[in-house]
Structure 1
Amino acid sequence: MKRLKYTEVESIRSTPGRSLLLFITDRCPVGCEHCSVDSRPNSATIRDSELFESIVEGICYDEKLSMVGISGGEPFVERKGLTLAVNRLVSAGKDIVLYTSGVWARSIIPQWIRDVLALVNCVFLSTDAFHNKTVNDDQFVLAARTLAEEGVWIIVQVLNIPEMVARAEELLCRAFGKDYRELAEINLVPPLPYGRGKEIFNLGTNREGDEFGPCKSLAAPVVRYDGTISACCNEQVIMGLGPNRLRKRCSSGSDLKKALKDISEDPLFNVMNELGVGTLTYHPKFSELAHQQFPSICKLCWAIQQDALPLGDRSDRLLTSISMIRRNTVNE
């Protein structure tokens, strides 16, 4: 099984059509105060197994798709769904990137967990002071060592807060020694003010609309276990908030194919992904947003979506032309 490192994962994620994220459950027993999707031990999870299986099959048949991320919630609390998804996707030739807190790391690791890990190409293993209240240092070390035993490349995901980064390095040294970089790397992530995190973190400094660049998240949509497809990985959008234009619903694998096609071919999304969200403020329809203040690229995107034509509508000839010119240039 080949190992995918962070730069490789990001390169694939930023290429339209090459990857997506399968969000298999809202449920998570860790209860982090900063959780951006407000996952809880009793949150919703897979209820319609037939629909979920059809969704997975639809992903399998997408020939252009080479990599699938699997997250939640905590994926390992959804044993049946996780096992089914990983086995079928790997059989279809897809690389698997798994996101977990390592809460499953106990004195004895169940064989089914090892079987799943043996099939994935890398694991994003999260750790910080918030996780530590439920997933202690010993569990993190055991989780890391278990991943290494199964030949999985480890990407330790930690909040970009100096003391938390230093602690993550200490734990990796404890697990593998000073040469831990032969088995793992650290990825710093910004604190997200969504879900429970909105009580702890701020969005940041406002910027004018025309200052925002491309949104690479639009290259990799999110498919939720209940048939909701989100155009990007914004946690609020995944949980049903924000403009409806950012979401589609499907009731089968064939519906999924059409929904993903509508998202990937949408002129507005293509311009935002490749030229920039701020670039759209030069379009007459969105010009009033150019010098308005926004705390994040997501807030600007939401403002644009409110006044945009329906998803897939190509009647805005200016926008469609810009999208086609840029897409043809990229493909040459």
Structure 2
Amino acid sequence: MTRLTHQDILGIRRTRGASVLLFVTDRCPVGCAHCSVDSRPDSPRITDFRLFEGIVEGIAGLPDTTMVGISGGEPFVERRGLGLAVRGLTEAGKDVVIYTSGFWARTAQAPPWIDEVLERCAAIYLSTDAHHVAGQGPERFGNAARVIAGHGIPIVVQAIDEGDTLERAREALAAALGPRWERHAELVPTHGVAHGRGARLYGPGGRLAGREFGPCDIVDATVIRYDGRVTVCCNESVIMGAGPPGLSRNCADAAEVRQAVEDFRADDFFRLLGSVGPGALTSLPEYQDLADRRFSSICGLCWEMTKRRAPGRDPRLAALAALTS
């Protein structure tokens, strides 16, 4: 079974077409104040399993995709859906990486179905910070870390770099896994995202002129939701239904999922956003007025450009994409 480090995963994610993210549920029981998708205990979840099976089949049939991330919400609230996805994807030869809060680790031993899921994974991203601790207590993080490490699966601990969070995360890892915890886990600092409930905690960043934005590092992160919505990137607001129509597509079966993913990957505009960035594209006549307009994020500029795109393939973008590929 493949085992992946954080750097391995970053390398795969930065290889166009090599990975996708499966968003299996909106639901999460933890209720963190900083949640970027506003997940709640009563949020929507999988109801159409025939559609979901088609989604998994569609992802499994993507020939260039070697790794599938699974997130939500909290993936482990979807016992049937998560098990179905992990089995189907690993049997198709895909490496699976799950993003979890560890809420499921109420005791030192996990239920057998969770052990079965974990055993098939290449890595587990486990989040901790003051918001997670407030929502589920400190014990579950330690239990989850020990269970995952017991399977020999690499753990990537994500913690927001604010206050003493990173130091507390190191202490929690040492308490759970011992002084040599780095043999089992990596600690990766993250930042708060101004989406979902997190918008109340993290305001927009500084405003830059359109021409100042470089390449987008998430435009290759195609996301497939449990309800058939495929988005070109992992912007949380786009996943939840916001943004211009050109950033997403609704699919009803495996063939439509594969086609949507392949179309987004082949799109010259999105390829250029990932290689030269939207700032460089402000030199084109239809975007020149955006060069000096100020935006709080690269997403705002992308959305404005996407709204202006004409239907059909643009030969100028095709030529530029060919030069920069």
Fold match, TM over 0.5? yes
Deviation at 1:218, TM superposition (A): 1.3
Letter in 1 for 2:321: S
Deviation at 1:244, TM superposition (A): 1.1
Deviation at 1:300, TM superposition (A): 1.1
* Distance in structure 1 (CA, Å) of the matches to 2:83 and 2:212: 44
| Structure 2: segments with no counterpart, 5+ residues | none
Letter in 1 for 2:323: I
Deviation at 1:203, TM superposition (A): 1.5
* Distance in structure 1 (CA, Å) of the matches to 2:166 and 2:296: 25
Aligned counterpart, 1:262: 263
Aligned counterpart, 1:163: 164
* Distance in structure 2 (CA, Å) of the matches to 1:223 and 1:169: 33
| Structure 1: segments with no counterpart, 5+ residues | 328-332
Aligned counterpart, 1:196: 197
3-state SS of the aligned residue for 1:157? strand
Question: CA-to-partner distance for each residue in 1:174-195, whole Å, 9 max, x for gaps?
Answer: 1122211110001111110110
* Distance in structure 2 (CA, Å) of the matches to 1:135 and 1:182: 26
Deviation at 1:89, TM superposition (A): 0.5
Equivalenced residue count is 324
3-state SS of the aligned residue for 1:301? helix
Aligned-pair Cα RMSD in Å: 1.0
CA contact (8 A) 1:102 1:135 kept: no
Deviation at 1:265, TM superposition (A): 1.1
CA contact (8 A) 1:264 1:270 kept: yes
Greater CA drift, 172-181 or 143-152: 172-181
Deviation at 1:20, TM superposition (A): 0.2
3-state SS of the aligned residue for 1:85? helix
Aligned counterpart, 1:138: 139
3-state SS of the aligned residue for 1:156? strand
Aligned counterpart, 2:324: 326
Letter in 2 for 1:320: A
Question: CA-to-partner distance for each residue in 1:197-247, whole Å, 9 max, x for gaps?
Answer: 111111111111111111121112000000000000000000001111100
Letter in 1 for 2:34: H
* Distance in structure 2 (CA, Å) of the matches to 1:53 and 1:131: 31
* Distance in structure 2 (CA, Å) of the matches to 1:76 and 1:235: 19
Letter in 1 for 2:157: V
1:112-151 to 2 correspondence within 5 Å?
112-151=113-152
Taking only the aligned residue pairs, the percentage that are identical comes to 45
CA contact (8 A) 1:157 1:186 kept: yes
User: Runs of 4 or more off by more than 3 Å in structure 1?
Assistant: none
* Distance in structure 2 (CA, Å) of the matches to 1:115 and 1:285: 53
Structure-1-length-normalised TM-score: 0.96
* Distance in structure 1 (CA, Å) of the matches to 2:23 and 2:248: 14
* Distance in structure 2 (CA, Å) of the matches to 1:198 and 1:70: 23
Aligned counterpart, 1:40: 40
* Distance in structure 1 (CA, Å) of the matches to 2:22 and 2:310: 27
